[in-house]
Amino acid sequence: AQSVAQPEDQVNVAEGNPLTVKCTYSVSGNPYLFWYVQYPNRGLQFLLKYITGDNLVKGSYGFEAEFNKSQTSFHLKKPSALVSDSALYFCAVRDSGAGSYQLTFGKGTKLSVIP
Amino acid sequence: NAGVTQTPKFRVLKTGQSMTLLCAQDMNHEYMYWYRQDPGMGLRLIHYSVGEGTTAKGEVPDGYNVSRLKKQNFLLGLESAAPSQTSVYFCASSYERVEEETQYFGPGTRLLVL
């Protein structure tokens, strides 16, 4: 079975400071990992993904994430937070070896960037 | 290019009523999905389809049925609505190639079952 955990319901950060949103996963095979963002009253938007290759993945809006196989983590990071980054962030995983097309999403982390 | 669209945007039902939610995509995606989003629960997969004429159960399929008669459309049906089905429903679609495994989401349908 595949699962993903986002240990923080909410993260508060001051504008201009670096931000980190944490994600850990569990799969039996190799993971495909994703970050999505949801703004109020909107659908989810894709930010970035790790399928294979370089462990540091760069995505939209200056976000990046690092795949760490030994720690089974895929934390989302940004060097300098903007107020407009305030949103709900979801980590998702799919087990590449499970023969399934299903993504499992975390429960989400609300990011608030304080001016 | 509208992407993924959902109809309706909002609906109120009484317990026992039925309805169909429509999802349409114009990106020629093979895969389509229906999720529900509830506070503190993240997104949970209801049903999905890997091609026209095929459907499969997700994590929470009970009380829902789906059909994919045309490649661009994916319908979600509630035969007898229950208050537990009050939620925000999202449709998504994606290509079949793993390198393109990004899901594109619709704007959502808010459903209230009284």
Alpha-carbon distance of A89 to A85, in angstroms, equals 10
Torsions phi, psi of B7, nearest 5? -135, 135
For residue B98, what pLDDT is reported?
Answer: 64
In this prediction, residues A30-38 reach a mean pLDDT of 93
Of residues B99, B102, B108, nearest to A46 (C-beta) = B102
Check CB contact of B2 with chain A, cutoff 8 Å: no
**Distance in Å, alpha carbon of B1 to nearest chain A alpha carbon:** 16
For residue B48, what pLDDT is reported?
Answer: 94
B99 pLDDT band, cuts 50/70/90, is low
Identify which of A30, A45, A7, A100 has the alpha carbon closest to the alpha carbon of residue B59: A100
- Is the pLDDT at B15 greater than 70? The verdict is yes
Give the model confidence (pLDDT) of A77-110 as tens digits: 999 999 999 999 999 998 887 666 788 999 999 9
Greatest Cα-to-Cα distance within chain B, rounded to the nearest angstrom: 43
Identify which of A3, A32, A37 has the alpha carbon closest to the alpha carbon of residue A19: A37
Q: How many CB atoms lie within 10 A of CB A37?
A: 22
Buried b vs exposed e over B78-110: b needs ≥16 C-beta within 10 Å? Answer: beebeeebbbbbbbbbbbeeeeebebbbbebbe
Check CB contact of B24 with chain A, cutoff 8 Å: no
Nearest CA in chain B to A96: B98
**Distance in Å, alpha carbon of B69 to nearest chain A alpha carbon:** 20
- Is the pLDDT at B5 greater than 70? The verdict is yes
B11 pLDDT band, cuts 50/70/90, is very high
Give the model confidence (pLDDT) of B45-75 as tens digits: 999 999 999 999 999 999 999 999 999 999 9
Q: For all residues of chain B together, what is the average pLDDT?
A: 93
DSSP E strands in chain A: the ranges are 3-5, 10-14, 19-21, 24-26, 31-38, 44-50, 56-58, 64-68, 73-78, 87-95, 104-105, 109-114
**Distance in Å, alpha carbon of B57 to nearest chain A alpha carbon:** 10
Alpha-carbon distance of B93 to B24, in angstroms, equals 9
Alpha-carbon distance of B41 to B2, in angstroms, equals 29
Alpha-carbon distance of A93 to A28, in angstroms, equals 12
- Is the pLDDT at B97 greater than 80? The verdict is no
What is the share, in percent, of chain B residues with pLDDT greater than 90? 85
For residue A98, what pLDDT is reported?
Answer: 64
Residue A36 identity (one-letter amino acid): Y
Residue A70, helix vs strand vs coil? coil
Cβ of A101 within 8 Å of Cβ of B103? The answer is: no
Omega into B8 within 30° of 0, i.e. cis?
A: yes
Of residues B4, B50, B108, nearest to A101 (C-beta) = B50
For residue A102, what pLDDT is reported?
Answer: 82
